[in-house]
Amino acid sequence: MRKKIPNIITVSRILLIPLIVYLLWNDNVLYGWYAAGVLAITGIADLVDGYLARRWDAVTNIGKIIDPTADKITVIVSLLMLLHLNRINVIIPILLISREIIVVTLRAVAASDGMVIHASTEGKRKTALQMFGIGALFIYYDFFGASAAYCGTVLIILSVIASWYSGIKYLTAYFKTYRSSI
């Protein structure tokens, strides 16, 4: 049973996504804070499920699939909700989602060639920037004299840069490995 706990935590992250949609459906200051809290819970749960999977030697093939899928669905749905609330420019989700599609496709091609492309440090930084930026944009309004909208926008722009930087590194690593295997 203990080895199933990381995957149960991952599935629970996916189940929280409709709550984020519900909380952000209308532009309500308090619900924006709640949505940011739910997002923080999903981020902490992501760290916990990964840690437990490694610690308990409970890494599974299904976990390798659903964990990054949960991350991607959370980010994509959150970006769409931010679009719904007119809190981000449409180019941001276009750039972030297209990069994710490219990397997922690259991983699938690499897997068909017997290669595994592991998550990089840059990819993890990109995810952290996205989550903090999205959370700040969920809050959006000023608090204690600071503009959550400005902070969130800066973090999201930095995440776009980090996203494409890590994506290019994945592509470069794949093609180097592919060329050396021919």
What's the rounded Cα separation, in Å, for the pair 35 and 74?
12
- CATH T-level topology, domain 2-181: Four Helix Bundle (Hemerythrin (Met), subunit A) (1.20.120)
CB-CB contact of 138 with 36 (8 Å)? yes
Per residue in 36-88, pLDDT (tens digit) is 999 999 999 999 999 999 999 988 888 888 998 999 999 999 999 999 999 99
The pLDDT of residue 180 is 74
Which residue is associated with the tokens 């840690």?
51
Quick check: 117 pLDDT over 80? no
Residue 114 tokens, joined: 């017997």
Cα 73 to its chain centre, rounded Å, is 7
Strands (E), the chain: 142-143, 146-147
Residue 55 tokens, joined: 């610690």
Quick check: 182 pLDDT over 70? no
> What are phi and psi for residue 146, nearest 5 degrees?
-105, 145
